[in-house]
Amino acid sequence: MADYDGILLGMGNPLLDISAVVDEDFLTKYDIKLNNAILAEEKHLPMYEDMSSKYNVEYIAGGATQNSIRVAQWMLQIPGATSYMGCVGKDKYGEEMAKNSKSAGVNVHYYEDETAPTGTCAVCVVGGERSLIANLSAANCYKSDHLKRPENWALVEKAKYIYIAGFFLTVSPESIQLVAEHAAATNKIFTMNLSAPFICEFFKDVQEKALSYVDYIFGNETEARTFSKVHGWETDNVEEIAIKISQLPKASGTHKRITVITQGADPVVVAQDGKVTTYPVIFLPKEKLVDTNGAGDAFVGGFLSQLVLEKPIEECVRAGCYASNVIIQRSGCTYPEKPDFK
């Protein structure tokens, strides 16, 4: 299916997830909160060793954007429909991830940094909820020079849909700007994610600049509420916030911005044209929940898989809910060989 070749492009931080079920004491020791995502500080650095010595640790290819792209690829079952760029180290983690993504059908163009190891993300799970602590390392070294190389810019040219998680705002806002401007100039669909409360709080300016180009913005209820607080909107109502985000100024007038907010087990909120529609998620009994790691990423991957096929928004949401339902019943952002989405 040549038409779908490279139709969806992702750019982000390729990280190796180091995942373990831990306990409350561990969370307290390293001052981490469930259902949150942060960048590692000095105090977190011993944590990675500590985890692997104390708990049963799994190593899973991760990174928010890479997760979404791999899930979209899995849902589409069209080899080479997706591409991905980011920075890894010249090491076995980086090689492993490249092999992993390629065998999943994703066309990865990693930039290999000579100086830093491949980034990692500690995934601490308690009662099925997760906390993410990312040590970006090589992922933080991505440069727009790599993006501008002809073989990489070709992926941008070829794509009709682009997805970048908000996490990449801390790494290469200039790469985001280049891709966003290209999308606006060529009427392509540019999509992003609020990604984490800290992005909304501490990267407000670069986030706002990028948002003006965004056609579909994803996020969860916590991020939406943080966004509202930071912008002085004085409302905690997710539906109101979703509408307000969709109505923020837009750099290109071709597509109206659509806001899609997930709320865990509560309905998905979609805001467009000043109106909100809610869609229930698939019920999952608590005992079937393994962990929520990758749930939001999987939702986006499922959603985008139908968006690129030009399906209506309710189908996109249904696919998102299907994919996240699969992922939360497994450890990390992993999935069975074939999707069972009708």
Q: 262, 289, 298, 292: which is closest to 67 by C-alpha?
A: 298
* The two three-digit tokens of residue 135, written as one number: 């040590």
Q: Is 291 designated active site?
A: no
| List 17, 215, 291, 297, catalytic entry | 297
Here the tokens at position 15 are: 């990280």
- What kind and span of H or E run contains 271? strand 266-272
Long-range pairs for 109-113 at CB < 8 Å and ≥24 separation? 109/83, 109/84, 109/85, 109/151, 109/152, 109/155, 110/14, 110/85, 110/86, 111/85, 111/86, 111/87, 111/141, 111/142, 111/143, 111/146, 112/87, 112/88, 113/87, 113/88, 113/89, 113/138, 113/141
Distance CA 163, CA 104 (A): 18
Please give the Cα distance from 190 to 184 (Å, whole number).
8
Rounded Cα distance between 63 and 96, Å, is 14
Place of tokens 């990312």: 134
What DSSP letter does each residue of 33-67 carry, written as one string?
A: -TTEEEE--GGGTTHHHHHHHHS--EEEEE-HHHH
> DSSP state, 107?
E
Nearest-5° Cα angle at 191, 188 to 194: 160
The count of C-alpha atoms lying within 13 angstroms of the C-alpha of 78, restricted to the half-sphere facing its C-beta, is 17
| Two tokens, residue 326 | 């699969």
- The encoded tokens of residue 334 equal 């992993």
Active site residues: 297
